[in-house]
Amino acid sequence: MASSWWRWRCCGSWRPAAPSPGQGFPRRAEPPGPRAVTAARAQISYFNRVKSLMSAFPNMYSISRFPHVTSAACCCSRTRSGNKYIDPFKLGWRDLKGLYEDIRKELLISTTELKEMSEYYFDGKGKAFRPIIVVLMARACNTHHNNSRDVQASQRSIALIAEMIHTASLVHDDVIDDACSRRGKHTVNKIWGEQKAVLAGDLILSAASIALARIGNTAVISILTQVIEDLVRGEFLQLGSKENENERFAHYLEKTFKKTASLIANSCKALIDDVLDFTACSDQMGKPTSADLRLGLATGPVLFACQQFPEMNAMIMRRFSLPGDVDRARQYVLQSDGVQQTAYLAQRHCHEAVREISKLRPSPERDALIQLSEIVLTRDK
């Protein structure tokens, strides 16, 4: 079964899924098919690009070469080096003061309306998750290499660029999804229209590209350009679906990795977002829940639920387009263990991230990154 090879791939061992109503125990896990192997290779390629990005700076080494390994426990918080709890966001913001002001300076726009649209999401109300990860990782790697925790100017620039690329993708995603709200307010496309929203996203992306070029490091430029390509390819993958169950899981996995921007924590974040789409209320999320179903998307909870309720297959293939499909699919998910299975999968990714970051020398920033992984898993919005 698809869920079986999924756990086999992610965990290194097989854990049986809960039996479907009226059925016995599931069959033995089968080895992953060609699509699963392709998805795995895509992950490895993405991992190698992020390692290259870190090694492109003179004071940063590849994580895979760090000899100081700390055993990762089942609970992420137990891997900290004995220090008191450190708020990763407070620690990271020390290097990000003036983040949004600096981003707005990059958006040199003379047209008033275009300026308002481009700056709309740079209002300081976002989580700035990606910039936080960048500066924490920079300090942790710098400490490991030469005991200097100072963040280089080029490393901070990467933090700004990451937030700009991410925000541009949000503007474009909202157009594709015809979204009405984000971060608790109306979307750019709902206020100014779809055509202008597309142009605003393009402008943010072009400003990010100019800032990237100023760094002057061809390896960094190549890697972050690949991230932009991955975002586009991930969006295309999201628009499609597969009839075969094994291919569906591989498709979902590949899409998740291409649409997320951080190796250490965002693979977990993407999975947890899928869980919250079924468990959180709209006020918590700042956007409507069950949004993925309404967009015709089969996320992790849906794919796992399909193992117990095969009648969902038809709904997946027609992208929940018939009246009542969304409500029925949601009920199937809530009656199944799909949410729990997806949360478990996110936890496995979290543990993998912790194992990698634990190879760094102990430092407040390393501990903060480990804590951040746990925060991602337990968040409710």
Confidence at residue 214, expressed as pLDDT on a 0 to 100 scale: 94
Tell me the CA distances in angstroms from 73 to 83, 141, 151, 204, 293, one per residue in order. Answer: 16, 22, 29, 41, 35
> Would you say 70 and 358 are in contact if contact means Cβ atoms under 8 Å apart?
yes
pLDDT interval class at 251 (50, 70, 90)? confident
Can you give the three-state secondary structure of 149-162, one letter per residue? CCCCHHHHHHHHHH
Interatomic CA distance for residues 289 and 339, integer angstroms:
14
- 179 sits in the region (left: phi over 0; alpha: psi -120 to 50; else beta) called beta
pTM of the model: 0.72
> Pairing relation of β-strands 185-186 and 181-182?
antiparallel
Interatomic CA distance for residues 206 and 237, integer angstroms:
24
Measured CA angle at 246 (ends 239, 306), to 5 deg: 75
Confidence at residue 198, expressed as pLDDT on a 0 to 100 scale: 96
Interatomic CA distance for residues 227 and 258, integer angstroms:
8
Which of these, 337, 355, 209, lies nearest to 275 by C-alpha position?
337
What is the rounded average pLDDT of the residues 106-118? 90
pLDDT interval class at 28 (50, 70, 90)? very low
What is the rounded average pLDDT of the residues 169-192? 92
317-371 pLDDT tens trace: 999 999 999 999 999 999 999 999 999 988 988 888 888 889 999 999 999 999 9
pLDDT interval class at 286 (50, 70, 90)? low
Residue whose structure tokens are 């600096």: 102
Dihedral (CA of 30, 35, 38, 40) sign: negative
pLDDT interval class at 13 (50, 70, 90)? very low
User: How many CB atoms sit inside 10 A of residue 371's CB?
Assistant: 22
Interatomic CA distance for residues 95 and 92, integer angstroms:
6
pLDDT interval class at 206 (50, 70, 90)? very high
Most trustworthy range by pLDDT among 2-11, 24-33, 151-160, 193-202: 193-202
Confidence at residue 259, expressed as pLDDT on a 0 to 100 scale: 67
